[in-house]
Amino acid sequence: MMLIRYTSQIGRYFLMLQEIFKKPTKWSVMRTLIFKEIDDLIIDSLGIVCFISFFVGGVVSIQTALNLTNPLIPKYLIGFATRQSVILEFAPTFISIIMAGKMGSFITSSIGTMRVTEQIDALEVMGVNSLNYLVFPKLVALLLYPFVIGISMFLGILGGWIAAVYGGFASPSEFMTGIQTEFIPFHVTYAFIKTFVFAIILATIPSFHGYYMKGGALEVGKASTVSFVWTSVVIILVNYILTQLLLAK
């Protein structure tokens, strides 16, 4: 029974993706909705992303330095390890899981509340494609999500540099040497490819759980929790698949 239910849900999710692009809302209305979603989802997330990125970059740098106890190991490896950790995994994946909690819960609860208060039914009665009206602006807004991850990468490495230099673990030149050592530009491309896919997941899975929820106000909270869990699970699975496809030889 559980397998049938999950298969049904996956099928309904892909049918929802198809419906999003049908019967588009007028551009004058859609433009306002897109700017509102950019403000709610992107601008409002910058503060927490900057804060977490800066300090986690510092922690990665310090922990790397504390584990390089052998005097034969060069200090520039602190910068190298910080760069690799931040660009490859921390900024794209870890921040996306945090955003599954922040953005995802917001999207699910806002759409779920509209479902509970019958606003979605009112849109359908007026002949509006409610999925296009509600979900499409979120998809467009989250096309800017890679810029948020770019800021996260920069601040993560900056936090690592400050922690290493002012903590006395490495000199500025040693850390900068580590950042530049064996740099592979495709790693940044790989991170942004992942980020783009995660952005689609962050826009659609929480919307799915909000749109198709049933019940009252109590179920809105439950739907937000389930949305966060499944968004995180899918991000981790997709992360594994994309890493295998793009980096494994």
Q: Give Cα separations from 28 to 102, 124, 143, 244 (angstroms).
A: 28, 19, 20, 42
* Centroid of chain to Cα 167: 31
Single out the residue of 5, 248, 32 nearest to residue 140, CA to CA.
32
Question: According to the model, what pLDDT value does residue 240 have?
Answer: 93
Question: According to the model, what pLDDT value does residue 114 have?
Answer: 86
Own/partner contacts of 27-31, CB < 8 Å, gap of 24 or more, are: 29/133, 30/136, 30/137
Question: According to the model, what pLDDT value does residue 12 have?
Answer: 82
Considering only the C-alpha atoms of the chain, give the largest distance between any 2 of them, rounded to a whole number of Å.
73
Q: Give Cα separations from 176 to 79, 113, 152, 237 (angstroms).
A: 7, 50, 18, 33
Question: According to the model, what pLDDT value does residue 249 have?
Answer: 59
pLDDT per residue, tens digit, the chain (249 aa), is 777 877 888 888 888 888 888 888 888 888 898 999 899 889 988 999 999 999 999 998 988 888 877 777 788 888 888 888 899 888 899 999 999 988 888 899 888 888 888 888 888 888 888 888 888 899 999 999 999 999 999 999 999 999 988 888 888 888 888 888 888 889 899 999 999 999 999 999 999 888 888 877 778 888 888 899 999 999 999 999 999 998 875
Side chain identity at residue 15, one-letter code: L
Torsion from C-alpha of 85, 89, 90, 91, nearest 10 degrees: 110
Question: According to the model, what pLDDT value does residue 193 have?
Answer: 92
Question: According to the model, what pLDDT value does residue 151 have?
Answer: 93
Single out the residue of 213, 197, 164 nearest to residue 9, CA to CA.
213
Question: According to the model, what pLDDT value does residue 156 have?
Answer: 92
Question: According to the model, what pLDDT value does residue 171 have?
Answer: 84
In our burial notation (b when 16+ CB lie closer than 10 A, e otherwise), range 103-132 reads: bbbbbbbbbbebbbeeebeebeeeebbbbb
